[in-house]
Chains A and B, each alone.
Chain A
Amino acid sequence: MKTAFALSALAAAALAAGPVLAQDKKEEPFWAVGRPKGAATAKMAPVPSNPVPTPADKLPISKMRLPKGFKAEVFASDVLDGRGMREGDKGTVFVSTLFVAGKIYALVDEGGKRRVKTIAEKLFLPNGIEFKDGALYVATPKEILRYDNIEASLDNPPQPVKVYDQLPGEVPHGWKFIKFGPDGKLYVPIGAPCNICEPDPEKYAQIMRINPDGSGREIVARGVRNTVGFDFHPRTGELWFGDNQRDWLSEDMPQDELNRVTKIGQNFGYPYCHSGLMVDPQYGWGKDCKSYVKPAALLGPHAAPLGMRFYTGDMFPAKYRNAIFIARHGPWNRTQKYAADVVVAYVDARGRVSRVEPFLTGLVQNNRYLGRPADVLVMKDGSLLVSDDHNHAIYRITYSGPR
Chain B
Amino acid sequence: MLRLIAAGAALLAAAPAFSQASLHTCFACHGANGVSSLPQIPSLAAQPAFYVMAQLVLFKNGRRQNEQMSPMAQPLSSDDLRPLGEAIEKLKPPPPAASPVDPEKWNRGKAIVAREFCGSCHQPDFSGIENAPRLAHQREDYLKKALLDYKKGARVGYGNAIMPEVAAALSEADIADLAHYLAHFRKRP
Residues of A in contact with B (beta carbons under 8 Å apart): 5-8, 10-11, 14-15, 20-29, 31-32, 38-40, 42-43, 45-53, 55, 78, 368
The reply to whether A8 and B160 form a contact with Cβ atoms under 8 Å apart is: yes
6 residue pairs bridging A and B, Cβ less than 8 Å apart: A22-B152, A25-B168, A26-B168, A27-B165, A42-B120, A52-B81
The reply to whether B153 and A8 form a contact with Cβ atoms under 8 Å apart is: no
Q: Bound complex: CA of A27 vs CA of B162, how far in Å?
A: 11
The reply to whether A7 and B159 form a contact with Cβ atoms under 8 Å apart is: yes
In chain B, residues 75-103, which have Cβ atoms closer than 8 Å to a Cβ of chain A?
78-79, 81-82
The reply to whether B160 and A5 form a contact with Cβ atoms under 8 Å apart is: yes
The reply to whether B159 and A48 form a contact with Cβ atoms under 8 Å apart is: yes
Q: Verify if B157 is at the interface (C-beta below 8 Å from A).
A: yes
The reply to whether A43 and B153 form a contact with Cβ atoms under 8 Å apart is: no
Q: Please give, as numbers and ranges, the residues of chain B lying within 8 Å of A27 by CB-CB distance.
A: 165
Contact of A11 among B63, B120, B153, B168 (CB under 8 A): B63
Q: Verify if B121 is at the interface (C-beta below 8 Å from A).
A: yes
**Interface-forming stretch among B23-31, B34-42, B49-57?**
B49-57
Q: Verify if B10 is at the interface (C-beta below 8 Å from A).
A: no
Q: Please give, as numbers and ranges, the residues of chain B lying within 8 Å of A55 by CB-CB distance.
A: 78-79, 82
Q: Verify if B158 is at the interface (C-beta below 8 Å from A).
A: yes
Q: Please give, as numbers and ranges, the residues of chain B lying within 8 Å of A20 by CB-CB distance.
A: 153-154, 156
Q: Please give, as numbers and ranges, the residues of chain A lying within 8 Å of B53 by CB-CB distance.
A: 50-52
State whether A46 and B159 are in contact (beta carbons under 8 Å apart), knowing that A11-B63, A22-B154 are contacts in the complex.
yes
State whether A24 and B168 are in contact (beta carbons under 8 Å apart), knowing that A7-B158, A11-B156 are contacts in the complex.
yes
Q: Please give, as numbers and ranges, the residues of chain A lying within 8 Å of B71 by CB-CB distance.
A: none
Residues of B in contact with A (beta carbons under 8 Å apart): 50, 53-54, 56-57, 63, 78-79, 81-82, 116-117, 119-121, 130-131, 151-154, 156-162, 164-165, 168-169
By secondary structure, the B interface counts as: helix
Q: Please give, as numbers and ranges, the residues of chain A lying within 8 Å of B164 by CB-CB distance.
A: 10, 26
The reply to whether A23 and B131 form a contact with Cβ atoms under 8 Å apart is: no
Interface centre among A6, A10, A14 (most CB of B within 10 A): A10
Q: Bound complex: CA of A78 vs CA of B169, how far in Å?
A: 38
Q: Please give, as numbers and ranges, the residues of chain B lying within 8 Å of A29 by CB-CB distance.
A: 160, 162, 165
State whether A22 and B78 are in contact (beta carbons under 8 Å apart), knowing that A5-B159, A15-B63, A50-B50 are contacts in the complex.
no
The reply to whether A23 and B168 form a contact with Cβ atoms under 8 Å apart is: yes
Q: Please give, as numbers and ranges, the residues of chain A lying within 8 Å of B159 by CB-CB distance.
A: 5-8, 11, 45-49
Further pairs besides A20-B156, A32-B165: 4, Cβ < 8 Å: A29-B160, A45-B160, A48-B160, A52-B82
The reply to whether A45 and B153 form a contact with Cβ atoms under 8 Å apart is: no
Distance in Å from the Cβ of A369 to the closest Cβ of chain B? 11
The reply to whether A26 and B165 form a contact with Cβ atoms under 8 Å apart is: yes
The reply to whether B153 and A23 form a contact with Cβ atoms under 8 Å apart is: yes
The reply to whether B121 and A43 form a contact with Cβ atoms under 8 Å apart is: yes
Q: Bound complex: CA of A26 vs CA of B152, how far in Å?
A: 10
Distance in Å from the Cβ of A32 to the closest Cβ of chain B? 7
B115: nearest chain-A partner, CB-CB: A37
Q: Bound complex: CA of A133 vs CA of B116, how far in Å?
A: 55
Q: Bound complex: CA of A336 vs CA of B81, how far in Å?
A: 30
Q: Bound complex: CA of A49 vs CA of B160, how far in Å?
A: 10
Q: Bound complex: CA of A69 vs CA of B83, how far in Å?
A: 36
Q: Bound complex: CA of A46 vs CA of B165, how far in Å?
A: 15
Contact of A51 among B57, B152, B154, B162 (CB under 8 A): B57
Q: Bound complex: CA of A14 vs CA of B161, how far in Å?
A: 14
Q: Bound complex: CA of A23 vs CA of B120, how far in Å?
A: 26
B155: nearest chain-A partner, CB-CB: A20
Q: Bound complex: CA of A21 vs CA of B116, how far in Å?
A: 24
B132: nearest chain-A partner, CB-CB: A43
Q: Bound complex: CA of A392 vs CA of B52, how far in Å?
A: 18
Distance in Å from the Cβ of A309 to the closest Cβ of chain B? 28
Q: Please give, as numbers and ranges, the residues of chain A lying within 8 Å of B168 by CB-CB distance.
A: 23-26
